[in-house]
Amino acid sequence: QSALTQPPSASGSPGQSVTISCTGTSSDVGAYNYVSWYQQHPGKAPKLMIYEVSKWPSGVPHRFSGSKSGNTASLTVSGLQAEDEADYFCGSYAGRNIMVFGGGTKLTVL
Amino acid sequence: EVQLVESGGGLVNPGGTLRLSCVASGLTFSDAWITWVRQAPGKGLEWVGRIKSKTEGETREYAAPVRGRFSISRDDLQNTVHLQMNSLKTEDTALYYCTTGFCLYGGCHWDDAFDSWGQGTMVTVSS
């Protein structure tokens, strides 16, 4: 199973919105509404930010939102804050009890 | 609060073996499905494999790059999951995390969303 495709970098100024894409195939992102997003600060473990495409785990600010169209999922961060600077990874259930992740996007807050 | 603590990482020669452990607390461990995810230095996340609960048959799944070399087992009395890694290759060098999902409103997300992670244990395969 191939990894999902994410842009290596994204950036925005404080207060702005930025969207990170995650492109898969009709066997993973396109087939299931089980896309998740993870935030990872340097030296830390990943943190779940979005699950089932657009749902928020408890405690995650709703500035983070998720969506999906066809084989591409997206994470939008609105009202960018300095602490949002991190790596973001998408993941998708890919059937046959397997999960695939994206290569990650480094978000820089300018 | 769920806590996962990995151990057992280290430096090993190519072709060698290593056994990682993941001790869990703060959850009904016997119900939990536990997944291993790895991250090579400076790279993305890679799903390695998963073991279901005993009531779900302790079914195991593995990613293609490790299938036949890695094996996951669990000890519900010790709240521990092990990742046995054999025939290690240099490309197995990574930080290995154990992680698990959650249950909410009668539905569980064991295979599609991971909300609890350990701190990881580093495996370096090099001669």
The pLDDT tens digits for A3-55 are 899 999 999 999 999 999 999 999 999 999 999 999 999 999 999 999 999 99
| B103 CA to centre of own chain | 19
What tens digit of pLDDT does each residue of A47-97 get?
A: 999 999 999 999 999 999 999 999 999 999 999 999 999 999 999 999 887
Tokens of B29: 């461990």
Spatial separation of the C-alpha atoms in residues B74 and A39, rounded to whole Å: 28
pLDDT at B106 over 90: no
Q: How much is the average pLDDT of B85-89?
A: 98
- Point out the residue among A36, A102, A104 whose CB comes nearest to the CB of B113: A36
Bigger pLDDT: A73 vs B107: A73
Residues A41, B54: Cα–Cα separation, whole Å: 34
Q: Does B35 touch chain A (CB under 8 A)?
A: yes
Nearest to A45 among B64, B109, B119 (CB): B119
Q: Which residues contact A100 (CB under 8 A, 6 or more apart)?
A: A1, A2, A3, A4, A24, A28, A91, A92, A94, B47
Q: What is the pLDDT of residues A43-56, one digit of tens each?
A: 999 999 999 999 99
Average pLDDT, chain B: 95
Q: Is the pLDDT of residue A1 over 80?
A: no
Report residue B23 as tokens.
């001790």
Look at A3 and B46 and tell me if their CB atoms are within 8 Å: yes
- The residue among B45, B61, B96, B98 with the most chain A CBs within 10 A of its CB, best to mutate, is B45
- Check CB contact under 8 Å for B113 and A97: no
- For residue B105, the model assigns a pLDDT of 82
CA distance A73 to chain B (A): 15
Give the count of alpha carbons within 13 A of B5, CB side only. 7
Q: Please give the span between the terminal C-alpha atoms of chain B, in angstroms, as a whole number.
A: 40
Q: Which residues pair with A39 in a beta bridge?
A: A47, A88
- Comparison of pLDDT for A12 and B111, the residue scoring more: A12
Residue A105: which of A18, A25, A44 has the closest Cα? Answer: A18
Residue B100 has pLDDT above 80, yes or no: yes
> Nearest C-alpha of chain B: how many angstroms from A33?
10
Q: Check A97 against B63: CB less than 8 A apart.
A: no
Listing DSSP states for B7-30 in one string gives E--EEE-TT--EEEEEEEESS-GG
CB hemisphere CA count around A24 (13 angstroms) = 32
- Round to whole Å and give the CA distance between B68 and A16: 48
pLDDT exceeds 60 at position B123: yes
